[in-house]
Each structure stands twice: as C-alpha cells, then as structure tokens.
Structure 1
Amino acid sequence: MKDNLHLIFTYPESYSEEIIDNDIAELETPNIKIHIERHENEVNAAKEWIVPTLLAGIVLKPYFETFFQEAGKDHYQLLKKVLKKC
C-alpha cells in the first residue's frame, strides 16, 4: 500500500482529527495519495537527538574553550588600544 503513496504524514496519538484535517486540507486532491499514520508518544525518541548532541558537546568542549580564550585575548588587546586613545 505504501508503495503507491505520494505523501505520508505521521502524527502523535494526542493530535485531534481537526488538527490533522486542517493540516492536509489544502493538499487533498484526486491526484495525490495521502496516508496518515498515528504513533504513540515515546520519550525514547528524544535519544536520537540528545545522545549525539551530548557526545559532540563533550568532544568539542576543549576546542571551544581554547577558541574563546584566544578570542578573549585578542578582544582584550583591541579594547586596551581603544581605551588608551580616549
């Protein structure tokens, strides 16, 4: 069945039919085959985003700390020059 579809929309179970109907109202035409799926709310789905972001943050933390320390030194020198002129 899904092979012949043009669009598949997935919604959480908590969404009302009214919200879904409003979303797809403009898309419904005889030429477009739309399928709507409902799925349970899952807390574990957040792991797909949280875990990689957390790992990237841990790995890149030393890089950003060094980068901002050097940027702070450059900014301090520039600020010092400008304040001496005043």
Structure 2
Amino acid sequence: MSPPHIGISYVEDLPRQPFDDFVAEVQRPDLDVRCEARERPGPYAGLEWLIPTAVVVFIGRAYFDAFLKEAGKDHYQLLKAAIQKLTKKFVGSSMPVGRIYFAGANKVQSPTPKYSLAYSVIANLGDGLSVKLLLQPDLSAEECNSAVEVFTAFLEAGIKGTLDPDSVEGLAGAKPVGGTLLVAYNRESKKLLVEDPIPKHVRERQA
C-alpha cells in the first residue's frame, strides 16, 4: 500500500478525540488521510531520537506534489494550523516527560530526554529522504506555533528547491541516518538546527 498524503499514528491508550478532530480538519475528497491506533510498544533498542514517538504526524511526498501548487496553498495553510493545534495538545510543560528503556543484555534507562517522546512530525521529501521534527517537551504554546511555522516553511522551500542551506544550522554537510534527517526547533534563534543522533565520540571512532 502506498503512503498516504497525510497520516497520524498514536498509541492506542491515548484518547482518540484529538486525532479525529485533526482528520476532520484536514480531510478532503481528493486526499488520502489515514489515522491509526497502534499498540504501545515494549522496550526499544536503537537511537532515541529515531524511535517512534507516542504520536506521529506524517506528511507524504504525494501531498507536496499535489498541494504545494497554487490551487493547494490554502489547504497547506489549513494543514499547518491543524498541526499547530495538535502540537500544543502533546507538547508543553504540563505533559509528562517520561523515560525510555533500551532492550539489551543490560537494560539501561535513559536520562530525561532532550526531546519529546510523546510527539513528532515526519515529512517524506522523496528520493528516500524523510525529515523528522524534534520538539523540546516544555515548549510554550507560542513556541509550538513558531516551531511548526519554521518547519513547514523549511519543507516548502526544500520541495520547491528554494531552500537556503544557511537558514538551518548544521544543514550543510548533514548526514541523514537510516534515510531520516533530524531537525529541532532552536527556541533562542527561532530557527531549525540539525541534530545528529549518533554521539560525536562514536562518529570519531567510525571515521
């Protein structure tokens, strides 16, 4: 089955209403919008920032191909507003930070995570590349709006080929891991920065 234009996936013990509301806000007859509940997973083994968050919003390449033209710009603004609204429900100082466990011979509990394990946004830009937006778990409502604003602007510029590499810290020479480029919202600069999920000392050993 081909990827949807827009998708949302969430662990099944979360209330369904916010996701139904999101689908109702973005659904159109010519759009493939899917919403799925999934079982809460057990321990993961892997790089923490690449692990699926409890809620994942997905934007497919097919959406950009169809809806970043003049006729679809209004819907892109609607989608951005719906993502901003959902983001504020799952990111903020009132949300539990949570911890994550890695499976292995010796299960290790991670420190309090730098980025939210509850929520993320992933966009497929085509040619095997996806971009994942990481968000600090304590962002304010205004910062959530700003994060989604700069992320969607980044996606649009990337698809159109008008992206200034200097507009995102660390983008020049960035190396996606497993086909995914991780970007985070910098609350000081109000811009995006590229995050490397592989620790620097590991990179140096591999070099």
TM-score by length of 2: 0.23
TM-score by length of 1: 0.46
Structure number having the greater helix percentage: 1
Structure number having the greater strand percentage: 2
Q: Tell me which structure has the larger Cα radius of gyration.
A: 1
